[in-house]
């Protein structure tokens, strides 16, 4: 598969350096460099297919419209992304609105999504845009979580991270049915319902491990 040519433009030197560390050596990308607007650039064998732009720098809009930068896909990064930033990205036909400190996995996911023509942003921005209330975690989940077996503790932690039964099964080398059975027993015995409650339970287990010096199973 042909590597995607990626170019980074913006005045923020810290962000540019972070993008270079994160992306320059990726085999699936052709790194074209990280530059300030209007800064001379080395000749590239291919035009940029994807622009990563400093959304805090007003000069990038003028720069991206230069004739030799015809890239149709753009990912914007902001120091403090807001709903206004998100709206601007959507209105401008961009493919992402992200924080400059976004995790490498999120940035790479956004790049792959842009290849498919999809849009990526942070969940909290999306919830705010759609006015979806954030689900509050129970402060103290019911039940005696100290009685869980090592395997059950593992399952609770993976489930709290949002993994499906099949994904947990692959992580632990067991069958999805075994995961389902464990979760059913946990829900039934501890008196909780659904994976939202497991988020609080996982937090409680982490706190318990820290107090007793117990390694994660």
Domains and CATH numbers, the chain: 4-130 (3.40.50.2300), 145-212 (1.10.10.10)
Give tens-digit pLDDT for 80-138: 999 999 998 988 889 999 999 999 999 999 998 888 888 999 888 887 877 755 555 44
Which residue did the predictor score with more confidence, 63 or 114? 114
Beta-strand ranges (E) seen in the chain are 4-9, 29-35, 50-54, 73-78, 96-99, 120-121
Sheet containing 4-9, strands listed edge to edge, beginning at the edge strand earlier in sequence: 29-35, 4-9, 50-54, 73-78, 96-99, 120-121
Beta bridge partners of 52: 8, 75
Q: What per-residue confidence (pLDDT) applies to 204? A: 61
Q: Is the pLDDT of residue 211 over 70?
A: no
Q: At what angle do helices 176-190 and 150-160 cross, to 10 degrees?
A: 100
Which residue, among 203, 64, 194, has the nearest Cα to 139 in the 3D structure?
203
Q: Is the pLDDT of residue 214 over 50?
A: no
What pTM was estimated for this model as a whole?
Answer: 0.59
The rounded distance, in Å, linking the Cα atoms of 87 and 127 is: 13
The rounded distance, in Å, linking the Cα atoms of 141 and 139 is: 7
Pick the range with the lowest mean pLDDT from 22-36, 94-108, 150-164, 185-199. 185-199
Judge whether 8 and 20 are in contact, CB under 8 Å: yes
Query: Coil, strand, or helix at residue 54?
Result: strand
Instruction: Give the mean model confidence (pLDDT) for residues 15-20.
Output: 97
Instruction: Give the mean model confidence (pLDDT) for residues 186-210.
Output: 62
Which residue, among 39, 60, 62, 52, has the nearest Cα to 5 in the 3D structure?
52
Instruction: Give the mean model confidence (pLDDT) for residues 164-185.
Output: 87
Q: What per-residue confidence (pLDDT) applies to 8? A: 94
Q: Identify the band that residue 153 occupies on the pLDDT scale cut at 50, 70 and 90.
A: confident
Mean pLDDT for the chain?
80
């Amino acid at each position: 598969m042909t590597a995607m040519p990626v170019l980074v433009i913006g005045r923020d030197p810290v962000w540019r350096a972070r993008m270079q560390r994160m992306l320059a050596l990726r085999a699936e990308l052709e790194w074209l460099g990280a530059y300030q607007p209007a800064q001379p650039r080395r000749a590239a064998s291919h035009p940029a297919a994807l622009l990563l732009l400093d959304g805090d720098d007003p000069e990038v809009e003028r720069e991206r419209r230069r004739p030799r930068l015809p890239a149709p896909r753009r990912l914007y990064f902001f120091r403090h992304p807001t709903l206004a930033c998100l709206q601007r990205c959507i209105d401008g036909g961009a493919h992402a609105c992200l924080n400059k400190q976004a995790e490498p996995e999120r940035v790479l996911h956004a790049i792959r999504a842009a290849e498919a023509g999809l849009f990526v942003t942070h969940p909290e921005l999306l919830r705010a845009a759609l006015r979806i209330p954030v689900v509050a975690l129970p402060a103290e989940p019911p039940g005696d979580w100290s009685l869980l077996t090592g395997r059950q503790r593992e399952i609770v932690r993976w489930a709290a991270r949002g993994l499906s039964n099949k994904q947990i099964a692959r992580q632990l080398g067991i069958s999805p049915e075994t995961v389902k059975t464990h979760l059913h027993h946990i829900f039934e015995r501890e008196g909780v319902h659904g994976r939202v409650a497991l988020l609080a339970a996982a937090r409680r287990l982490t706190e318990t491990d820290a107090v007793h010096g117990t390694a994660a199973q």
